[in-house]
Amino acid sequence: MIKRIPSLVFIFFLVVVANAQETNKMIVDATSSTAVINKNIYGHFAEHLGRCIYDGIWVGKDSKIPNINGYRTDIINALKEMKIPVLRWPGGCFADTYHWKDGIGPINERAKMMNYHWGGVVENNTFGTHEFLNLCEMLGCEPYISANVGSGSVVEMTQWIEYMNSDKDVPMANLRRQNGREKPWNVKFLGVGNESWGCGGNMTPDYYVNLLRNYSEMAGIYGQWKLQQIGCGANGADYNWTEVVMKQRPGAMSGLSLHYYTIAGPDWGNKTAATGFEKKFYFSGLEKALKINELIEKHSAIMDKYDPKKQIGLMVDEWGIWTDVEPGTEPGFLFQQNSIRDALIASLTLNSFNNHADRVKMANIAQTINVLQSVILTEGSKMVLTPTYYVFKMYAVHQDAKLLPSQLIGESYEMDGKKIPALSSSVSEDKNGNVHLTISNLNPDKDISLSVELVGKSFGKVNSASVLTAPDYNSYNSFEKPATVKPTDFRNYKITGPSTLNLTIPSKSVLVLEIM
């Protein structure tokens, strides 16, 4: 949780209550920081699902679409500009049907397989271990491998670890050399199973934790105790799963996952469209996305009981909004558009991760290209950057920066008798001493004035400021109009004193300021 600023905040609350009037104010404590925002909070997820890999990241060397050894050039450039820190692969549900040896060796000799989970298509395995790990090298990001626990074996996992990471004269390392890669990739992150409570095996937590103990020990041995192992964690509010795994946790586990998807409609069977939705679904999308705060705090409280020193990270390795697929597309491909609402969901979620940086050490939005809350969409040779892409690019300033404790006291956004906070924020200080404020106004109809007080540091000047907003609450970037939602310079601010700043934040917007 965010560290409180006891005296100042308490006094301010007294003033607010005494005056009995609504005030929008942020107080930032620049004198202390208890956590660093791990850059891997800004991670992504690429599954063999729909057009995420094929026609998204990978088109093959012979494609007419410009590519670098088979990787789309425009995708590579866009992901580099976004500063992607970590990429999770090959799934997802796909991971627990995936057998890695099918995806190595000469491409035209690789075994085919059925993608049972996603569309029932035949997977040709032209994108495998080498292609993924070489992609991560090109992007300068860390690979996060999901091991097959559902239909695989300990032997299969340990051989994969040896193939990827060993530099010894041993069979799997020699097989890698035979396939054209001399040096190991030195993968750091290994997920031991995916959604083992569901598509990864339909297990109980007691059964899974014993498998985890076995797999984790062997992964530690074969990985020379260098791998950061991430255990399969809970589905949303399944706190019992976290309790069981944390109570019996194997010593090699350094992270526990959490999956949470925002459903803007009433339930999974009534998810609503990605575009053209009514304002009530704009509101409910934001309302349900805000639940991530409660989930993090309650799962963290359980983890604190068994890990008070916070040595095990909470890894939210699947999150994002899940809507109906676009009309006319294959339902199993999960292709959906991306609006300003989704950008706001991304911003308030990332603010939450930042503000819980003492426990949240990684997160991976689902998914990178053409699936669910994508940062990029493709259509043939065309590519469009989504509003969510711009949020990640704007928020990159927080990567590996010091979290500054803050308190935000603001008005509510109300609809149909329900209320949510109208403002969301997080604050950090980078290694050069620059302070970055990220603030979102969730109200689609009202600009909001906000006073910012910086305790223990003076405002020198605003180095830069940009804002992401849109004409309407459901605006999006199409292939025909790719720049409808795009950041612009922000100038509606004024330094009013040595340590105070006033802002007027546009409706339905995401704002980032750099102050020195």
Catalytic residues: 195, 318
Q: What is the phi-psi region of residue 302: left when phi exceeds 0, alpha when psi lies from -120 to 50, beta otherwise?
A: alpha
Strand order in the sheet with 493-497: 406-409, 25-29, 448-455, 500-505, 493-497
Contact assessment for residue 390 and residue 486, using Cβ atoms and an 8 Å cutoff: yes
* Angle in degrees, CA 16, 20, 23, rounded to 5: 50
Q: Which amino acid is at 211?
A: L
Report which DSSP code applies to 397: G
Please state, in angstroms and rounded to a whole number, the distance separating the CA atoms of residues 364 and 318. Answer: 5
Closest of 451, 449, 450, 490 to residue 469, by C-alpha: 490
Q: Give the torsion through C-alpha atoms of 331, 335, 340, 341, to 10 deg.
A: 30
Gyration radius of the chain's alpha carbons: 23
Give the other-Cβ count within 10 Å of 352's Cβ: 24
Q: Please provide the distance, in angstroms rounded to a whole number, between the alpha carbons at the two ends of the chain.
A: 26
Closest of 46, 42, 133, 53 to residue 82, by C-alpha: 42
Please state, in angstroms and rounded to a whole number, the distance separating the CA atoms of residues 343 and 75. Answer: 19
